[in-house]
Copies of this chain bind each other. A is one copy, B any other.
């Protein structure tokens, strides 16, 4: 695969970007990392840029010269709407505007399973299933998905929308046996995004090849992404866990405790 000239990563100090950072050298000659938090030291192929995503001019400058963007920069937990709107709505808008003006052609938008978190666990979802967000966070990601689609239809900017499950080193609770995504499968997916001749604007569920499956990516099999890991290796972690109540809302819904949690008051 031809390497990109320069790949931008927003939210570079976050939990996902930290896991995959090392592996990105395979995809680009230069990796530009951006965050407001400490990002450690730069490797020879890396550029570190401190940038506030809510500052539209700074974002434009950040994007200039990049072929592609991994947009992980967001509030990634449930929070007050004003906080989430500022970063996830205004920030994402700035990023797409910058891509349009500075001719970045391909973006990975880190969406979330919380866009569809109110679906019951026995529902099999595809990219076409109706959205059912489970909180302010999920609604903000629905905004981002709509924006990405607009920039594809109107401005030919391709986006890989990834509804990420749980991208951690290992599952943290029983629910993540279904939602876990390994860092290596995330890297494989990024590889396909970089390499595929035509990306378009697909919605992909970001999840490893776990035995318990809620989501069906067959509609986007043209990408050639075949996850290789599975949460089954971690099944014993939960063998002594107390039996859950099947009618507890956080067990009924795919979003887990996001769906059963109350409102974050402003």
Report which A residues bind B (CB closer than 8 A). 1-2, 56, 81, 85, 89-90, 93, 97, 100, 115, 118, 120-122, 124, 127-128, 130-135, 138-139, 142-143, 146-147, 149-150, 153-156, 158, 174-175, 177-178, 196-200, 202, 210-214, 216, 218-226, 239-244, 246-247, 251-252, 259, 263, 266
Task: Say what secondary structure dominates the interface of chain A.
Answer: loop
- A212, B222: Cβ atoms under 8 Å? yes
- Count identical subunits in the complex: 6
- Do A150 and B135 touch across chains, with their CB atoms under 8 A apart? yes
Contact indicator A122/B213 (Cβ below 8 Å)? no
**Distance, CA A263 to CA B154, complexed state (A):** 9
Q: Known contacts A142-B142, A213-B221; decide if A198 and B133 are in contact (CB<8 Å).
A: no
Q: How far is the CB of A200 from chain B (nearest CB, A)?
A: 5
Are B121 and A222 in contact, with the CB atoms below 8 A?
yes
Instruction: Report how far A139 CA is from B148 CA in the complex, Å.
Output: 10
Interface contact A198-B130, CB-CB below 8 Å: no
Contact of A224 with B212 at beta-carbon distance under 8 Å, contacts A89-B89, A122-B200, A252-B198 already known: yes
Decide if A244 touches B146 in the complex (CB within 8 Å).
Answer: no
* A197, A239, A252 interface centre (most CB from chain B within 10 Å): A197
Inter-subunit contact A247/B81 (CB<8 Å): no
Closest chain B CB from A178 CB (angstroms) = 7
Specify which of B56, B139, B154 is in contact with A259 (CB 8 Å cutoff).
B154
* Whole-angstrom CA separation of A196 from B212 in the bound complex: 9
User: Could you tell me the distance between the alpha carbons of A122 and B100 in the complex, rounded to whole angstroms?
Assistant: 23
Given known contacts A132-B149, A132-B153, what 18 new A-B pairs fall within 8 Å (CB)?
A2-B241, A81-B97, A97-B266, A122-B198, A127-B130, A128-B128, A131-B146, A134-B150, A142-B146, A158-B246, A174-B197, A178-B222, A197-B244, A197-B246, A198-B247, A211-B226, A213-B218, A213-B224
